[in-house]
Structure 1
Amino acid sequence: MASPMRILAFEVGAYFVRYTVFTGDKPGIPSTIATPTDSAESFYEAIAQVVKRRSKPIDGIAFSIPGFIDTSKRRTITAGSLGMLFNHDIAQELSQYVPGIPVWLENDANCVAMAEKLNGNAQNLNDFAVITVGTGIGGALFLDGHIRRGRDWRAGELGMMITDFSKGGLLPLHDYASIGSLVERYAAEFDVPLADVTAASLFRRLDEPEVRKIVEDWVDYLAVGVFNTVAVIDPECVLIGGAISRESNLVPMLNAALEKNKNWKDFRTTIKRCRHSSNAGLFGAYYAFMTEVAGK
């Protein structure tokens, strides 16, 4: 009987890189390093050091990275706030530091969807969308049993939809439904420093009418994004991700906001929170490697 593959998965963020080894489908305990941002070379060197510290050989490396990712060439086109990784042939360049180990990289929001398909709330679904709510609005489309990346690797950029043209012109959903926009609304309304406000704290004060009104107005914009997504792709389910999705009131408030739309009765779709939160990128990167490289 063949030994299970050992895949080293990385979730690359603006400030930290989290990583762990999957043996079979079982992850180890994640570890963290600071994200090297001065150059691609320093990034590769840091990854190589993680690989070399493993006590057993690694069969593959998988990355969850923000931005537009050309998976056919395993290269970045953009990389979110990680400017040092724009337009880099990651797999080819990294092979100079860790030769002989196959590499896969995937967009971070796509990894969230893949994590849900692997062992989350989409295991039995073939058509679903993920909307991640954080500093921006991320999105991923899993259709006909596969992640949908698009011709130019830009599919699922749900945060870029225009949702309030008469008021905000061409401002995208990012500007209305991100965590930052919620916090900014509260800070402006109550004239308090942004640093003193967290989105989670507002959800714990929903019994205060002024706070509830701010949160409900914010949820209304998120509901517009959900409705537009459902109207376009007709999924079995929409999953809401990001740390804020752990707030128990979010999905009920989102459903209530959708019910205010008279057309929702014709498009009504199940809305759930993602099962994975902090480890979604790691699980998704692993799933991507196993399906795209190992052919599992």
Structure 2
Amino acid sequence: MGESFLSIDLGGTYTKYGLIDQEGNVSKTHRIITPKDLSGLLEEVNLMISEYPNSKGIAISAPGAVSHSGVIHGTSAIPYIHGPNIKALIEQSTGKMVSIENDANCAALAESWKGNAQKVQNAIVIVVGTGIGGAFIHQGVVQRGKHLHAGEFGYMLIKHEEQWSSWSELAATSSLRKEVARQKSIPYESIFTGEQIFEMASNGDPECIRAIKQFFYYLAVGIYNIQHMYDPDIILFGGGISAREGFITEIYREYEALTENMHFETIRPKLDTCSFKQHANLVGAVKHFLQSEGN
């Protein structure tokens, strides 16, 4: 293994980190609950770097509209990262060089570098987590957009029960948990993890079965819109839930049910998971670090 980097993937529920080398090889990954405030995050990053003191630098994948300066604009499930210069704060705290990129852009960078988008010109990457992020790859290059919002598919509006909701509100893992809580009439804060919901569904729990079906239905609705707007070669999925066996099959099932009775021609998209699966953001963050350093 050559030079290695501490790579960190900030998520609304969990934060993953690990050691990634300059060729994109992953080793020693870990997962912690995402800290509740900025001071907690800085403390955790210092603990991480103490585990890997020989890391060349820190590569971070984060939700939101990440500027070159290190300020993260927009909104996400981690409110405290928006506003302060996270890059500068972590550099000051650790003494290490830091790069930060949007999480979905990181997934796209990983896939165009070493993964399932290496041999295509135009691709979409969708990261399903506590919220939904995304990225465009156009002619082999990740697009950021005028306001750093290219690929923010989670903001897409979809009608649900006579009200407009964002795609993130309907088809992210947090929405799956909220729907189970609603059906069971229990507080969201006490609801199960996504993994537990799928396990309960496999054991016949009717509320979990209905919530999962709705979850995949709204994923299919969003994919239908994206496919017909951009018509990419492939749509790739990242995020922890994408590693579930049968994930793509379930999306296709709902997609085909959605389009079955349409009276006009539709396109059946090519869907796959990111080759790096739940590690795509970690690998792409390192690719962004290398690009930032001119490597």
Aligned to 1:175, which of 154, 169, 173?
Answer: 169
Contact 1:78–1:85 (Cα < 8 Å) also in 2 = no
Distance (Å, rounded) in 1 between the aligned partners of 2:183 and 2:31: 37
Q: Deviations over 1:4-29 (max 9, x none)?
A: 43322122234654333333323331
The separation in 2 between residues aligned to 1:205 and 1:125, in whole angstroms, is 40
TM-superposed CA distance for 1:226, in Å, is: 0.2
Closer, same or farther in 2 for the Cα pair 1:97/1:184, shift >3 Å? closer
Identify the residue that residue 90 of structure 1 maps to in structure 2: 86
Per the TM alignment, residue 223 of structure 1 is displaced from its structure 2 partner at its CA by: 1.0
Do the aligned partners of residues 196 and 44 (structure 1) sit closer, same or farther apart at CA in structure 2, a change above 3 Å counting? closer
Deviation at 1:228, TM superposition (A): 0.9
TM-score by length of 2: 0.80
Does the residue aligned with 1:135 lie in a helix, a strand or coil?
coil
Structure 2 gap ranges (5+): none
* Residues 264 and 94 (structure 1), Cα distance of their counterparts in 2 relative to 1, 3 Å cut: farther
* Amino acid across the alignment from 1:108: D
Q: Secondary structure at the match of 1:81?
A: coil
CA contact (8 A) 1:179 1:199 kept: no
1:209-258 residue CA offsets vs partner (Å, 9 max, x unmatched): 98766544432221110011111222111112333323333322322332
Letter in 1 for 2:222: G
Paired residue for 1:110?
105
Residues 1:222 and 1:205: Cα distance change in structure 2 (over 3 Å): farther
Alpha carbon RMSD of aligned pairs, Å?
3.3
CA distance in 2, matches of 1:203, 1:124: 37
Match in the other structure for 2:21: 23
Q: Does the C-alpha gap of structure 1 residues 48 and 161 become closer, same or farther in structure 2, counting only changes over 3 Å?
A: same
What's the secondary structure of 2:119's corresponding residue? Answer: coil
**Aligned equivalents of 2:281, 2:118: Cα separation in 1:** 16
Count of aligned pairs: 287
Equivalent pair of 2:70/2:86 in contact (CA under 8 Å): yes
> Whole-Å Cα distance in 1 between the matches of residues 167 and 174 of structure 2?
12
Which entry has the higher C-alpha Rg, 1 or 2? 1
Distance 2:250 2:285 in 1: 31
The aligned residue for residue 225 of structure 2 is 228
Would the alpha carbon gap of residues 264 and 253 (structure 1) be closer, same or farther in structure 2, given more than 3 Å must change?
farther
Q: Specify the code of the residue in structure 1 equivalent to 2:286.
A: Y
Q: Which residue of 1 is the match for residue 294 of structure 2?
A: 295
Partner of residue 251 from structure 2, selected from 232, 254, 264 = 254
Structure 1 residues 134-181: Cα deviation after superposition (integer angstroms, max 9, x where no partner): 33222222222122221111221111111117x343311222222343
Q: CA deviation at 1:119?
A: 3.0
